[in-house]
Amino acid sequence: MNIMSLSGNREQYIAVVALIVSMLIWSVSGIAIKHALIVLPPFTMIVFRFVPSVLLMLVIGLICRKSALFGLQKLRWQDVPLFLIAGFCQPFLYYLLETFTYDALNSPTIAETLLSTSPLLSPVFAAVLLRERVTKFNIIGILVSTFGVFVLTLAGSTNYAIGSYWGVLLAFAAVSAAVVDSIMMRKVPAHYSSLSFIFYAQCVSLLFFIPIWFIKEGPAVFDNGQWTMDNGQLVTALCCVGYLTVFASVIAFILFCFALRKIGVTQANAFNNIRPVFTALFMLLFFGEHLPVAKWIGIGLIIFGLFVCQKKEKIADY
């Protein structure tokens, strides 16, 4: 094996570690969002989350200006459309569609399962929009891993009623928005650092979020009566928002962007399937939630599928 091959393998391993860390962070973020929403209205929580994250990235980017990962590069006018599409798709559009999906479907389990199907759509988008090569190992690994997600999330569930079929369409629209955002990560010129991409995309999202927040919830936030609640609940909610700001909105997004640019849209998005695994293990370790055999089988299928998805096809030399 030559030096270039060794270097390439090392970069792939680093990318995989970055993806695992980002998925671990995001797997906990759902719990943090749930606790934050006990106190904060949805758009208030989102604005409280993303305004500090943008300011934090601005400070980091200016301090680490020369860093290839954390530097903040000046935005070029010809690249503005890419960032507009990225910021509109995620967080803005994805978060809205995700909320309506949970509202339209009877079962949160069904909703969670449908919203975790981005690996299935990624090869199609990547092949059509990026001309990214999709191998048989990618396809087989994604199918096995996604089947594992269905086993993990649906095993033991007693409510399989769909509810409004609009919810199914909304779920796939949300997933499509997330995949398009990952396509934009790949299409944005390489001279932009991962932090720069996330910073500008979140700035665009705030342009959409803040007006809606101000119209729907803004005046009530400044009403003193809004905050007459148990101090413990408020502290917990603000700690959860702090976690979402620093870890979920900054660190995890930067790591995911870095890894996606290294290994491609199809392979990077396949790791979204591991998020339910981390959530299930987290609930087992910290909340004592029982995991039946079927769920362990689902976890095994997800991990096996991810290994298959990352396998390289051998190209014969002639």
Indicate the range of 84-93, 107-116, 222-231 predicted with least confidence. 222-231
DSSP 162: -
User: How many Å apart are CA 27 and CA 22, to the nearest integer?
Assistant: 9
> Would the pLDDT of 225 be above 70?
no
Residue 105 pairs in a beta bridge with 163
Please indicate whether residue 283 or residue 188 has the higher confidence score (pLDDT). 188
Where are the domains positioned within the chain?
22-215+231-310
As separate numbers, helices (DSSP H) first and strands (DSSP E) second, the chain gives: 15, 0
Cα-Cα-Cα-Cα dihedral of 100, 250, 270, 297, to 10°?
-80
Round to the nearest angstrom and report the end-to-end CA distance of the chain. Answer: 18
Give me the amino acid identity at 28.
Answer: V
pLDDT at 73: 92
User: What's the pTM?
Assistant: 0.86
pLDDT tens, 171-205?
Answer: 889 999 999 999 999 999 888 999 999 999 999 99
Nearest CA to 19 out of 235, 218, 194 is that of 194
pLDDT at 3: 35
Kindly state the tokens that stand for 126. 């990547």
